[in-house]
């Protein structure tokens, strides 16, 4: 039987490699400060909401648009949760449902104007951005509301159950180690299954050494990451939320009819329409979804801060948009991946984190982040041009 | 001394090791219309890009001699300076700017440095329009208010404004109907009288024999031969033979083994109004029926309402206030969306593959399966990826899409192969009725033949096939029966035994007269 071989697409891993390189650079600059268990934990907790927003934003970017309103919706939903708990003295479940409902409503509001009245998304979401922020200030009377109840704060700052043992000069959480083992087994199993399927259908396979190297790096990162978390305080609850959302959305975008319809719409709206895709419906749900994810991010943020503030989420839309572009999504729409957006979000996160540890001010951080965004997209565009 | 305005000698151009042009020679006499023929990918456009400086001097081997001197163009501007203007198939007009602005785009009429003299611009634009037979157009109207045919003429006016000596037209009539094409070709003849030399790239051989004084045929990056009118055999068959390198005995494959069955597609009393103007009726009482295994053509001039008919039937994708009934397999069906159409086994292979048919940044597999996916390649909304790959692979082989793999991006394929992908997309929805709208526009003779073979295969499988085409020989060559549509009405029905181009035109003309007659009676 003829054996087909195909090299792994390096571009697919380019941003991933860049992520590692940036991380190592800051490891060197800060003398390893960003390698500490506590810092790894902080990376997850500080970037949780940007990752959540980037996931939703990717869908908007796939349609060839953006949602400028997410920062405001984050604040509005956080504020609603705070008001329900503090002013109306209701329990946290009611607060969570209220926040999600408001996110859903804002999303549907924007989606309705975009999909059924054909108002450009840029304009609609610019409006929701202004309206959302104004509404938040009004609702909170420009005051910070807090402290929020501890069981609510668990969402943003809590950890999953642990089983700690003494290990070396500190402790080790066996639950994290256990999860790492499961993740490793799952990863290897998935790779083997994919190879098996490819063989069955006689598809091209990557050379064995490349597959082994790829698996090796992935396993190393998993173990590095979970070991560090195990040495600190176990698995943050935010990590669980992130992993679940990434899993769901990666599945939806690659393996479902609805997900592929978004790509088809972004690639050519007219052709998508004439292929039986209700593009208005796609637009509506993409922006509605963004509203709900903004609400989740709003809950996580307010829970981590332990308070609802009117300034919450300021500029988050830009971080989320930048994450998508850094992660390789096309500005014109139709191309990009959830994993790319997540990696993009972590690139931003590691930059923020590293520069803070290094002692650079937020002003300088903005300059660097801007330059990285421009650089990443430039490299992406140029490499695509070279191909043609 | 020499009477050649242009001599391209031993041109060789490589793209990363692959020779796109291999020792090509082209000689064009002053004041003639010289046609350049060849299948898609033969190297015609590459050659013209060398000539116009898109590929700068130094990136190719060989000499370009223009008016007896060797040229070293580094960009388009250099060649335009010398009076060489190229008009691409995709028009380079800015749709919202006025005609006058477009005519002098990049060549503005100035009163002083950087300031536009509007009076002069409009005046001169008027002069240029007169040269291309558009003297009655308002120079202040936006270009997108004109039809494609007139926009093409605006491009020529634009070239005239640049004091063109050598005009290159790349498939100028690809998007035009017969009438508009004729007008454009006559303008070319008029330009020739004014002493302008033209090079025309075209797939339409009847047009070439109408205007051209000489034909150079290119195949696989090499010059095959140059035929001169009045000296050599200039017939279409002769040119085709040179293009494909073999005698194409029949441009339309014979349809064998087809049994024509019952009527499976029927449209009755179909009325449609214009999407923007509820008072303007676009289609009036159209009645059409197609039997299983039958290939039926919709002939007519551009704008007659054929595409509008197809789109309005296909899930109300065009028009408003639509009335009438559609029967598929004997049952009346309600088709209000494209999804309904797909579910009722109706497929519409769209015209203009780039804007309506394909996601150009998506790969072959993605494009092939997009329409069939909800029904055949997914379960409760989750895609079965392996099934998709197998199906796409099967169709790639079956209709011979030339590509490295089904993961190749569609935008990088040639026109013919793109068209095959669109066709596969709709075949995968397993329809009983297929409407093919301009299935072979802008693709080469070989790919056309393959598409006709697919049409035959569909007929053999007992599908009802409707072909819409502006190329009358194609309709005549492929269809069992033809409806002639004119101004939104059926002007006549012709069987394949009686049909000819003249008959079709007679139908249209008779219908026009009848219309005029009715108008008089009413007034």
Q: What distance in Å separates the CA atoms of residue A361 and residue A368, rounded to the nearest whole number? A: 11
How many angstroms separate the CA of residue A304 from the nearest CA in chain B? 35
Q: How far is CA A118 from CA A66, A115, A124, in A?
A: 15, 6, 10
Residues of B in contact with A257 (CB under 8 A): 373-374, 378, 381-383
CB pair distance less than 8 Å for B339 and A278: yes
Q: Is residue A4 pLDDT above 70, yes or no?
A: no
Q: Strand, coil or helix: what is A262? A: helix
The model's pLDDT over A318-363, given as tens digits with 9 standing for 90+, comes to: 999 999 999 889 888 898 999 999 999 999 999 888 998 888 888 8
B382-383 and B378-379: which strand pairing? antiparallel
Q: List Cβ neighbours of B387 (8 Å cut-off, separation of 6 or more).
A: B376, B377
Rounded Cα distance between B467 and B433, Å, is: 11
End-to-end, the C-alpha distance of chain A in Å comes to 33
How far apart are alpha carbons B155 and A209 in whole angstroms?
57
Model confidence band, residue A9 (pLDDT cutoffs 50, 70, 90): low
Inter-chain touch B370–A388, beta carbons under 8 Å = no
The answer to whether B138 contacts chain A (CB < 8 Å) is: no
Mean confidence (pLDDT) of chain A: 90
- Could you write out the DSSP letters of every residue in A345-359? HHHHHHHHHHHHHHT
Q: What local confidence, expressed as pLDDT, does residue A126 receive?
A: 97
pLDDT at B407: 86
Q: How far is CA B380 from the centre of its chain?
A: 40
Half-sphere exposure of A123 (CA within 13 A, CB side): 7
Best B318, B373, B409 member to test A by mutation, with max A CBs in 10 Å, is: B373
pLDDT tops 80 at residue A311: yes
Task: Quote the pLDDT of residue B367.
Answer: 93
**Three-state SS at B43:** coil
Contact B173, B207 (CB under 8 A): yes
pLDDT score for A32: 85
- B 314-353: CB under 8 A from A: 314-315, 317, 337-339, 341-342, 348, 350
Specify the higher pLDDT residue, B205 or A297.
Answer: A297
Tens place of pLDDT per residue across chain B (523 aa)? 468 899 999 999 887 666 788 889 999 999 899 999 877 667 888 888 899 888 888 888 898 999 888 888 888 888 888 889 988 877 788 888 899 999 988 888 888 888 888 888 999 999 989 888 888 888 888 888 887 788 888 988 888 888 889 999 988 887 777 788 888 899 899 989 988 999 998 877 788 888 999 999 888 788 888 888 888 887 777 887 777 765 555 678 888 888 889 999 999 999 999 888 888 888 999 999 999 999 999 988 767 889 999 999 999 888 889 999 999 999 999 999 999 999 999 999 998 888 899 999 899 999 999 999 888 888 888 998 888 998 999 999 988 888 888 888 898 888 889 999 999 999 999 999 999 999 988 787 788 888 999 999 999 999 999 999 887 888 888 999 999 998 889 999 999 888 887 788 788 878 877 765 554 433 3
Q: How far apart are the CA of A151 and the nearest CA of chain B, in angstroms?
A: 37
* Least-confidence region, from A190-194, A375-379, B313-317: A375-379
Beta-strand runs (E) in B249-359: 263-273, 281-291, 295-299, 320-328, 331-333, 346-349
User: What separation in angstroms does the CA of A239 have from each of A35, B329, B350?
Assistant: 18, 56, 47
| Helix, strand, coil % over all residues of chain A, rounded to 5 | 75, 5, 20
How far, in Å, CA of A118 to CA of A124, rounded?
10
Partners of A203 on chain B (C-beta within 8 Å) are 389
B404: exposed, middle or buried (Cβ count in 10 Å: 0-12, 13-18, 19+): exposed
Which phi-psi region, left, alpha or beta, contains residue B316 (left: φ > 0; alpha: ψ -120 to 50)? left
Give the pLDDT score at B515.
63
The strand pair at B4-15 and B18-29 is best described as: antiparallel
For the cut 50, the answer to whether the pLDDT of residue A3 exceeds it is: no
Minimal C-alpha gap between B363 and chain A (Å)? 11
Of the CA atoms within 13 Å of residue B35, those in its CB half-sphere come to 28
Greater confidence (A56 vs A205) lies with A56
Q: What is the pLDDT of residue A264?
A: 93
Residue A53 token pair: 């927003």
pLDDT of residue A359: 87
pLDDT of residue B17: 65
State whether residue B430 sits within 8 Å of chain A by CB: no
Q: Give the C-alpha separation, B280 to A25, whole Å.
A: 68
Task: Using alpha carbons, select from A306, A374, A334, A294 the residue that is nearest to residue A110.
Answer: A294
Using a 10 angstrom Cβ sphere, with 0-12 exposed, 13-18 middle and 19 or more buried, the burial of residue B30 is middle
Contact B73, B119 (CB under 8 A): no
Task: Please name the member of A271, A276, A388 whose beta carbon is closest to the beta carbon of B359.
Answer: A271
Angle between helical axes of B415-427 and B385-398 (0-180°, round to 10)? 130
Contacts of B485 (CB under 8 A, 6+ apart): B286, B298, B299, B300, B304, B305, B306, B309, B491
Q: Token pair of B223, please?
A: 């010059």
Q: Among A1-10, A276-285, B39-48, B247-256, whose mean pLDDT is lowest?
A: A1-10
CB B436 within 8 A of CB B353: no
The class (CATH top level) of B4-244 is alpha beta
Q: Which of residues 183-202 of B touch A (CB under 8 A)?
A: none
Query: What stretch of H or E contains B509?
Result: helix B501-522
Nearest Cα neighbor of A114 from A106, A104, A124, A105 is A124
**Closest alpha carbon to A276 in B273, B423, B336, B329:** B336
Sheet holding B263-273, edge to edge: B281-291, B263-273, B320-328, B331-333
Distances (CA, A) of B496 to B227, B493, B501: 34, 10, 11
Tell me which H or E stretch contains B7.
strand B4-15
CB A69 within 8 A of CB A347: no
- The pLDDT of residue A5 is 58
CB A176 within 8 A of CB A234: yes
B412: contact with A, CB 8 A cutoff? yes
Q: Which residues from chain A sit within 8 angstroms of residue B389, using beta carbons? A: 201, 203
Do residues A231 and A171 touch, judged by C-beta distance below 8 A? yes
DSSP B143: G
What's residue A288's pLDDT?
97
**CA B473/CA B459 separation, integer angstroms:** 19
Residue B112: CB partners within 8 Å, gap ≥ 6? none
Three-state SS at B437 = strand
Question: What's residue B250's pLDDT?
Answer: 67
Is there a contact between B359 and A260 if contact means CB atoms under 8 Å apart? no
Contact criterion met (CB below 8 Å) for B423 and B431: no
Q: Which sign, positive or negative, has the C-alpha torsion A351, A353, A356, A362?
A: positive
Of B195, B197, B201, give the one whose Cα is nearest residue B218: B201
CA A227 from centre of chain = 22
CA atoms of B129 and B157, how far apart (whole Å): 6
Supply the pLDDT for residue B352.
84
Q: Which residues are within 8 A (CB) of B16 and not within 5 positions of it... i.e. 6 or more apart? A: none
Q: Which two tokens stand for residue A253?
A: 């975008």
Q: Give residue B522's pLDDT.
A: 38
Which one-letter DSSP state was computed for residue A34? G
CB contact under 8 A, B361 and A330: yes
**3-class state of residue A274 by DSSP:** coil
Binary contact (B356, A330; C-beta < 8 A)? no
Contact in structure between B288 and B266 (CB atoms under 8 Å): yes
Q: Which uninterrupted H or E stretch holds B26?
A: strand B18-29
Q: Which fold has domain B257-345+431-523?
A: Rossmann fold (3.40.50)
d(CA B438, CA B469) in angstroms, rounded, equals 5
**CB count, 10 Å around CB of A279?**
18
Query: Whole-prediction pTM value?
Result: 0.80
* pLDDT band, residue A188 (cuts 50/70/90): very high
Q: Which residues belong to CATH 3.40.50.300 in chain B? A: 4-244, 257-345+431-523
């Amino acid at each position: 039987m003829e054996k087909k071989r195909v090299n792994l697409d390096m571009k697919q891993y380019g941003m991933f490699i860049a992520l590692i390189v940036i991380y190592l650079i800051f490891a060197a600059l800060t003398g390893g400060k960003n390698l500490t268990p506590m810092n790894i934990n902080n990376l997850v907790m500080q970037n949780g909401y940007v990752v959540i927003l980037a996931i939703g934003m990717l869908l908007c970017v796939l349609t060839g648009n953006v949602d400028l309103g997410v920062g405001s919706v984050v604040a509005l939903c956080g504020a609603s949760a705070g008001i329900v708990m503090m002013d109306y003295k209701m329990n946290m479940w009611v607060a969570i449902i209220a926040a999600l409902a408001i996110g859903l409503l804002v999303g549907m509001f924007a989606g309705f104007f975009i999909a059924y009245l054909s108002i450009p998304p840029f304009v609609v979401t610019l409006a929701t951005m202004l309206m959302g922020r104004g509404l938040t200030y009004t609702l909170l009377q420009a005051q910070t509301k807090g402290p929020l109840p501890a069981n609510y704060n668990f969402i943003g700052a809590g950890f999953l159950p642990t089983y700690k043992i003494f290990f070396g000069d500190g402790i080790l959480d066996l639950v994290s180690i256990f999860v790492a083992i499961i993740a490793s087994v799952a990863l290897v199993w998935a790779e083997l299954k994919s190879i098996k399927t490819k063989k069955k259908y006689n598809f091209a396979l990557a050379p064995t050494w490349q597959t082994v190297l790829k698996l090796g790096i992935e396993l190393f990162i998993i173990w590095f990451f979970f070991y560090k978390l195990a040495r600190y305080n176990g698995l943050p609850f935010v990590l669980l939320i992130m992993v679940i959302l990434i899993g769901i959305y990666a599945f939806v975008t690659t393996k479902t009819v609805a997900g592929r319809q978004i790509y088809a719409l972004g690639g050519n709206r007219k052709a998508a329409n004439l292929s039986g895709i209700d593009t208005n419906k796609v637009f509506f749900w993409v922006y509605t979804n963004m509203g709900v994810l903004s609400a989740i991010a709003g809950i996580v943020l307010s829970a981590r801060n332990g308070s609802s503030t009117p300034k919450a989420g300021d500029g988050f839309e830009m971080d989320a948009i930048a994450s998508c572009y850094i992660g390789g999504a096309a500005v014109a729409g139709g191309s990009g991946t959830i994993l790319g957006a997540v990696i993009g979000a972590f690139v931003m996160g590691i930059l923020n984190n590293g520069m803070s540890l290094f002692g650079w001010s937020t002003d300088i951080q903005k300059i660097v982040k801007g330059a990285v965004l421009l650089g990443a997209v430039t490299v992406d565009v140029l490499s695509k041009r070279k191909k043609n | 001394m020499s009477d050649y305005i242009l001599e391209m000698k031993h041109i060789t151009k490589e793209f990363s090791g692959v020779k796109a042009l291999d020792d090509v020679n082209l000689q064009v006499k002053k004041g003639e219309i010289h046609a350049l023929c060849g299948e898609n990918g033969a190297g015609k456009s590459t050659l013209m890009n060398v000539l116009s400086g898109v590929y700068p001097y130094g990136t190719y081997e060989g000499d370009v001699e223009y008016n007896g001197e060797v040229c070293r163009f580094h960009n388009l501007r250099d060649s335009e300076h010398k009076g060489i203007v190229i008009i691409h198939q995709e028009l380079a007009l800015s749709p919202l700017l006025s005609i006058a602005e477009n005519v002098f785009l990049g060549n503005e009429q100035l009163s002083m440095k950087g300031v536009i003299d509007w009076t002069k611009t409009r005046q001169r634009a008027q002069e240029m329009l007169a040269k291309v037979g558009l003297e009655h157009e308002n120079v202040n109207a936006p270009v997108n208010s004109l039809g494609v045919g007139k926009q093409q003429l605006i491009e020529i006016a634009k070239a005239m404004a640049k004091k063109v000596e050598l005009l290159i037209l790349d498939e100028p009539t690809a998007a035009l109907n017969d009438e508009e094409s004729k007008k454009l070709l006559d303008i070319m003849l008029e330009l020739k009288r004014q002493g302008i030399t033209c090079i025309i790239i075209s797939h339409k051989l009847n047009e070439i024999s109408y205007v051209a004084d000489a034909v150079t045929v290119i195949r696989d990056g090499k010059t095959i031969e140059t035929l001169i009118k009045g000296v050599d055999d200039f017939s279409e068959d002769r040119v085709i033979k040179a293009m494909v390198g073999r005698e194409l005995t029949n441009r339309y494959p014979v349809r064998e083994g087809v049994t024509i069955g019952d009527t499976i597609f029927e449209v009755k009393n179909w009325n449609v109004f214009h999407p923007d103007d509820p008072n303007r009726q676009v289609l009036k009482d159209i009645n059409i029926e197609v039997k299983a295994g039958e290939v039926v053509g919709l002939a007519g001039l551009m704008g007659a309402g054929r595409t509008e008919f197809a789109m309005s039937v296909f899930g109300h994708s065009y028009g408003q206030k639509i009335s009438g009934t559609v029967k598929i397999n004997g049952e009346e069906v309600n088709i209000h969306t494209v999804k309904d159409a797909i579910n009722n086994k109706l497929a519409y292979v769209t015209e203009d593959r780039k804007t309506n048919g394909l996601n150009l940044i998506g790969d072959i597999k993605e494009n092939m399966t997009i329409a069939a996916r909800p029904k055949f390649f997914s379960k409760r909304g989750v895609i079965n990826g392996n099934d998709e790959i197998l199906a796409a692979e099967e169709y790639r082989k079956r209709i011979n899409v030339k590509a490295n793999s089904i993961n190749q991006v569609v935008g990088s394929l040639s026109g013919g192969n793109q068209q095959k992908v669109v066709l596969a997309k709709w075949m995968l929805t397993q329809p009983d009725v297929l409407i093919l709208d301009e299935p072979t526009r802008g693709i080469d003779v070989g790919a056309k033949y393959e598409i006709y073979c697919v049409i035959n295969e569909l007929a053999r499988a007992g599908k009802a096939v409707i072909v819409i085409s502006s190329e009358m020989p194609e309709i005549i060559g492929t269809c069992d029966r033809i409806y002639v549509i004119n101004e939104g009405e059926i002007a006549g029905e012709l069987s394949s035994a009686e049909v000819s181009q003249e008959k079709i035109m007679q139908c249209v003309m008779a219908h026009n007269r009848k219309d005029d007659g009715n108008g008089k009676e009413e007034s």
